[in-house]
Amino acid sequence: MKRVAVVGVGQTKFGEHWNSSLRDLSTEAGALALKDAGVEGSSIQALYIGNMSAGKFVSQEHLSSLAADQSGLLPIPATRCEAACASSALAFREAYMSILSGQYDIVVAAGAEKMTDIRGETASAALMGAADQEWESAIGLTFVGLYALLTRAHMQSFGTTREQLALVSVNNHKNGALNEKAQFPFEVSVEQVLKSPMIADPLRLLDCSPITDGASAVVLASEEAARKFEKPVWIAGSGQASDALALHDRQSLTEMLATKAAAKIAYGQAGLSPGEIDVAEVHDCFSINEILAIEDLGFCEKGKGGSFVEKGNIARDREMPINATGGLKSIGHPVGATGVRQIADLVRQLRGECGKLQINGAKTGLALNIGGSGATAVVHILKAE
C-alpha cells in the first residue's frame, strides 16, 4: 500500500479573536503550515478544509473557495468538509485518500471556526444542528444535556464518580497550562471543578470545553514527495464510522460504537494494538467523552475508564498519555478546527518538538475526533520515521 506523510503543521492560538475574521485565522494557519513544511503555495495541488457552521456563526458559506483565494492557492480545487465537530478530521482523511488515489502528491488539510461573533446561547443553538433536529434540538435539548444523559448512564452502569470526571479536566488543564496555543492555559483542582456552576446535571462548567475561535492546517505528501522533506510523520491508519444521530436510536448509551468501529479499521491498517500507542489526542468536549474514548479505543476495559483516570494512567509520564497538550478542555474547541489541531499536535510529539509537553520516546500517536454526540468518529494513527 502507498504511504502518505504529514510534512508541515500550523495552528493559530485558540481563544477569543475579536480582531480576526474567519478568513484571517484560516489564512494564518495555512501560512504557518506551508512555512513549517518549507514549500511554496504553488506546490499545493488541492485543499480540503473542515468547517461546521460558518453560515450560522459568521454568515459565510462557500468557505473552501474563500480559503483558497485568501491563501493564494487559486486555481486549485478546494473542498469544504462537514461532520460537525469532526469536520477537519474528515478533511484530513479526504486529503489523505486523495493522495492514496494517485490524483495528487502534495495537498493541504485545514480546519477553521469563528464562534465568538454571536451570543453564547445562539452559538449553543447552532451547535445543536449536529444533533437530531426533530427529536432532540426541537424539544430543547442542548449538547451538554445530551452528554449529561450519557454521563448518567455511565455512572449508573459502572459506578463512575463525579471525582473521576473532574480528574479528566484536572489532567488536561495541567498539560494545557504549558501550551502557548491554549485558550485556558491554567491548572484547575478537583475542588474547583466540583464547585463550578452546574450546566446540565451532573456536568459542571469545568467539565465542558469552551466556545472558541481558531484554525489549524497540515501539509500532506505522497511517499515519493515526502522523501524531500525533513522529519515526515507517516499516516499508518485511518478509520471513519457512523452511528445513529439521535441518542434514543443508539444500541448503547455507555459506549460509542462509531469510535470502536473506526478504531478497529485504523488499528488494522496500522498493524498495531492499543497497547502500542505512545500518546493519544482524544475528543474531550465534555469530561465523560474522554472516559468513553479511553474505553472504546481499547486502552482499558469497558466501565473501567473512570478508575483508569483516577489511577493517573493518562498523565504525560504514565501508562497512556492522553491529551498531552491540553485537549479540547484547555486548548479550546473551535469545532471545525479541532481534528486537524489534534493531528498537528501529534506530529509535533512524534518529531520530538513539544518542549515541556514532550512524551519521551513517542513513536506512535492516535487521534480521535468525534462529531456531535458520537454519530461520527474519525480515528487516525501516526508513526514517526
Strands (E), 64-140: 78-81, 106-114
DSSP category for residue 18: T
Instruction: Judge contact between 210 and 183, C-beta under 8 A.
Output: yes
The DSSP 8-state label assigned to residue 359 in this structure reads -
What is the distance between the alpha carbons of residues 171 and 91, in angstroms, rounded to a whole number? 29
Cβ-proximal residues to 162 (8 Å cutoff; 6+ apart), any chain = 194, 202
Greatest CA span in the chain, whole angstroms?
Answer: 56
Write phi, then psi, for 318 (nearest 5 degrees).
-120, -160
**CB neighbours of 140 closer than 8 A, spacing ≥ 6?**
none
Per-residue burial over 313-352, b = 16 or more CB atoms within 10 Å of its CB, e = otherwise:
bbbbeeebbbbbbbbbbbbbbbbbbbbbbbbbbbbbbbbe
Active-site pick, 17, 173, 283, 333 = 333
Q: Is residue 285 flagged as an active site residue? A: no
Per the CB < 8 A criterion, the answer to whether 313 and 320 are in contact is: yes
Active-site hit among 85, 208, 285, 300: 85
Of 118, 16, 145, which is closest to residue 60 (Cα–Cα)? Answer: 118
Query: 229: closest CA among 363, 351, 74?
Result: 351
Report the first-to-last Cα separation within the chain, whole angstroms: 16
3-state class of 238 per DSSP?
strand
Amino acid at 293: A
**Radius of gyration of the CA atoms of the chain, in A:** 19
Q: Is the Cα dihedral 149, 152, 158, 161 positive or negative?
A: positive
Find out whether 108 and 219 touch, Cβ atoms under 8 Å.
yes
Give me the residue label for grid cell 474547583. Answer: 192
- 248 is a catalytic site residue: no
CB 211 within 8 A of CB 118: no
Please say whether the beta carbons of 377 and 371 come within 8 A: yes
Query: Catalytic residues, which ones?
Result: 85, 333
